[in-house]
Structure 1
Amino acid sequence: MVNDGAGTARVVLRRVGVGDEEEFVRLARVSAGSHHPWMSLPVTGEDFRFYLGRFADPLAAEGLLVCVRETGVIAGHISINSIIRGRFQNGSLAYAAFAPSAGRGYMSEGLGLVLRYAFEELRLHRLEAQIQPGNHDSIRLVRRHGFRYEGLAPELLFIDGAWRDHERWAITSGMVEGVAGEPHPTLPVR
């Protein structure tokens, strides 16, 4: 568990691992229609193992699962990618709900936990979310958590066979009420 099992009344976060392959792949297949054209997730074992490789270095990326506390079922995933230390102290979010659990607020609760984890445990200063303009559910999610709109980035990410425009949304540790933590040791004094 991330945060020593801390969570909300309904969800907990945990790191994605090898043992999640079967459930994750099954849920990604069932959810492919709701994820398209915003993102694609691994739908084969081989793709899943490649996906896991992205999180081999926890200093560079973290793959987290939002799980229903009562059942342990995976409701969605949130990853913190492209973690950069030094003067930036930044990470980039990617996330998706799985269709069987969508619309129940689990991802919103999970994102709240990820913000606390990123700012208090990882001691990042800033998180970004790049969202395609038509992905209204995703935009509502980050707005609900206090992210600010920072502009449009034309042709930012290659998704579904083309370079796609993305809105850039961001939040800093100072924007989240009650977040406390020391700066990361890699932050320069000046």
Structure 2
Amino acid sequence: MGRFDEGRSAEGLLVCLRDTGAIAGNVNINSIIRGRFQNGSLGYASFAPYSGRGYMSEGLGLVLRHAFDELRLHRLEVQIRPENQASIKLVRRHGFRYEGYSPDLLFINGAWRGHGRWALTNDMHGIVPDAPHPTLPDR
């Protein structure tokens, strides 16, 4: 019996302050699917007392460059609760487009909660790799 493994299905990255190395937050690229999809799902969190100071915006910008240039993903998605205005502002700042609302999407605090779906493609972000990921079919 063999094992089929196309590589890692997630990347976890820390957002650190340059001067002190303190961890200001994290960004995860989860559920990386290759082949025709070349997609990942983003999750992130800012840690107090660093929230609202621009660190996550700078960190997310670096993660987007990594995802589109190094990992050669075509698309990233993020699901955000409608009341989370800070998160919505963050993804809008980086050019994500709103694609709709999914009721009962994630189980949070004992109940299924609806989320807005946001997405960004490499060409929307202006980073298209010289060569596609090797798992992308020719046709």
User: Match for 2:29: what amino acid?
Assistant: I
Ranges in structure 2 where 5+ consecutive residues have no aligned partner: 1-5
| Distance in structure 1 (CA, Å) of the matches to 2:72 and 2:103 | 30
Q: TM-score, normalised by structure 1?
A: 0.68
Give the aligned CA root-mean-square deviation in angstroms: 1.2
Mapping of residues 92-131 of structure 1, within 5 Å: 92-131=41-80
Q: TM-score, normalised by structure 2?
A: 0.93
| Distance in structure 1 (CA, Å) of the matches to 2:55 and 2:89 | 14
Determine what percentage of the aligned residue pairs are the same residue. Answer: 71
1:70 aligns with 2:19: yes
1:149 aligns with 2:76: no
Q: Pick from 145, 151, 159: which aligns with 2:108? A: 159
Name 2:83's counterpart in structure 1: 134
Ranges in structure 1 where 5+ consecutive residues have no aligned partner: 1-56
Q: What's the secondary structure of 1:99's corresponding residue?
A: coil
Q: What's the secondary structure of 1:164's corresponding residue?
A: strand
| Distance in structure 2 (CA, Å) of the matches to 1:106 and 1:185 | 33
The answer to which structure has the higher strand fraction is: 2
Q: How many residues align?
A: 133
The answer to which structure has the higher helix fraction is: 1
Q: What's the secondary structure of 1:94's corresponding residue?
A: strand
After superposing on structure 2, the runs of 4+ consecutive aligned residues of structure 1 that deviate more than 6 Å are none
Q: Post-superposition shift, 1:180?
A: 3.8
Q: Post-superposition shift, 1:128?
A: 0.2
Closer, same or farther in 2 for the Cα pair 1:106/1:180, shift >3 Å? same
